[in-house]
Structure formats: C-alpha cells, structure tokens
Amino acid sequence: MPIIAQPAPGDAPTSSPPSPKPPVKSGGFEGGGKPAAPGSDGVPASGNGTFAVASGGTDVVGSGSKLIRYRVEVENGIPWGTNPVWSASKTAAEVDRVIAAPRGWTFSAQHPVTYGPNKISGASWRFQRVSGDGFDVRLRLATPKTVDKLCRAVGIDTEGVYSCRYGDTILLNLRRWLKGIPGQPASTDFHANTVNHEMGHFLGFDHMKCPGRGPAPIMQTQTIELNGCTLNNWPFTADGTFVQGPFASS
C-alpha cells in the first residue's frame, strides 16, 4: 500500500543488500492515563506506550553472510481481557520460531537472494535474538492506538489495523496478531506472514506485486489484495525458490 513516494528503482543490482528503506506501512499512543477499552472485535485498543523487553536470547540461527541481531518487545499495560496473553517471553518464542523456520529468511544461506529492483544481489542472512542494546532491529508487539501514533509520527497512517517499519523498529499491530485477516486467522500462522514481511522491509525490500499466479511474494501486501496469487507466509518455496514479483513502491 504505497504511502511514501519513492524514486523508480535502478536496474543494476549491487553486490550487497542496501541500507534499510524509508518507513513503510504493511499490512494511538496513550502516554500515561488509562488504557482504552477493547474495540468491537475484542482487541485491546491501547496499552501504556512503554515496552517490556524479552530477556535472554538465542544462538545464531542460519549461516548467511550478514548477521541480523533482533530484540523482541511487548507493550506494557495491555488490558488482555479474554484474549490470550502475549508476554514478552511468549512473543519472543513465537518470533524465534518464525525466524528459524526452514522456509524463512535463513534459507537464503543455501539460496542467496537477488532482486534487481532493490539492488540486492547474492544476499543471505543469519539471525540472533538479543536482549541488550546491541540490536540491529527490534520487533514491538503493540496495540492499535500505539502503532497508529508511533507510525504517524514518521508519516505513516496505519488505520488501527496495519503494521509498519521505520528505521530499526518494526511495529506489529496487535489486531493483526490476534485476529489475522479474513481467510487466514492468526491460528493459521499469520504470525509468520507479518514477521517475515516486516523483516523483509528491514532487509531492504519494498513491496512486490503478484507475478500473475502461484504463491504470493512475502513482500506482497497480501492483507489487501492477492490479484491472482495465493496466500503465502514464507519468503521461499520448499525447493529454495525466492518468491518474487514486480516492484511496487512502499
């Protein structure tokens, strides 16, 4: 879903992944005060705007050429009600699972990624979760109002629904985390979809379009339209093919 105009990409790939892209929306901050009541769908509307960091960390996962250190955080003060409680440790375990999955971004070690529109050539990544300040990117699970406010501050309208990525921060919208999307509830591994998509933005990818048929690229905005593709939660197919499509400005 384009919201920030960007120049047309060049055709010639470079030998290394680009620096992280400008802010993108994929898919309100009540500083102090009481959390807002849940929305009509039962999703808690807001927490207190501060975040708890998941303790500990993981060994390095994968053998790609570039190490990505990530930290996982969950907003404090969320009135969970009847919803499952996603503590920082539980959320970190879920993110770790997605990162380490066979068809996740670590598969790039065996199948390096080249994507000309974003000048990415022969790229591969390995990952490690950390809990200190030495992270490359942090993933924050946050309520819709908190996501809206933090993303709006960098010019992104997330509309109470979408996630976004800016700088070294990925904001995962609690509404999507709890509910998924029509046709793919959270219970069908939509978590993998949103984590892989947002991590893809951090790795340097813009949005992609459906190539016409088959599994959707993970960088396609599948939450909005499929355009002939089928839902897909992973960057790679089982045989190691990186699923890609035409460039779409993010």
**Residue 44 three-state SS:** coil
* The pair of three-digit structure tokens given for residue 73, joined into one six-digit string: 């955080």
How confident is the model at residue 7, as a pLDDT?
24
How confident is the model at residue 188, as a pLDDT?
63
What whole-number distance in Å separates Cα of residue 243 and Cα of residue 250? Answer: 18
Helical (H) or strand (E) element with 24:
strand 24-26
Model confidence, pTM: 0.84
Residue 62: alpha-carbon gap to chain centroid: 19
How confident is the model at residue 25, as a pLDDT?
56
How confident is the model at residue 33, as a pLDDT?
30
How confident is the model at residue 187, as a pLDDT?
65
- Bridge partner list, 163: 26
How confident is the model at residue 225, as a pLDDT?
85
Specify the residue for token string 């599994």.
215
Picking from 229, 198, 191, the residue whose alpha carbon sits closest to that of residue 96 is 191
What whole-number distance in Å separates Cα of residue 201 and Cα of residue 19? Answer: 10
How confident is the model at residue 6, as a pLDDT?
25
Using alpha carbons, list the distances in angstroms from residue 166 to 25, 138, 142, 175, 192.
Answer: 9, 10, 15, 19, 19
How confident is the model at residue 12, as a pLDDT?
28
How confident is the model at residue 49, as a pLDDT?
96
How confident is the model at residue 224, as a pLDDT?
84
**Residue 145 three-state SS:** helix
Going residue by residue through the chain (250 aa), what tens digit of pLDDT does each one get? Answer: 322 222 222 222 222 333 445 666 554 222 223 334 446 788 999 999 999 999 999 999 999 999 999 999 999 999 999 999 999 999 999 999 999 999 999 999 999 999 999 999 999 999 999 999 999 999 999 999 999 999 999 999 999 999 999 999 999 999 999 998 776 666 668 899 999 999 999 999 999 999 999 999 999 998 888 999 999 999 999 999 999 999 998 7
What whole-number distance in Å separates Cα of residue 198 and Cα of residue 165? Answer: 6
What whole-number distance in Å separates Cα of residue 69 and Cα of residue 139? Answer: 11
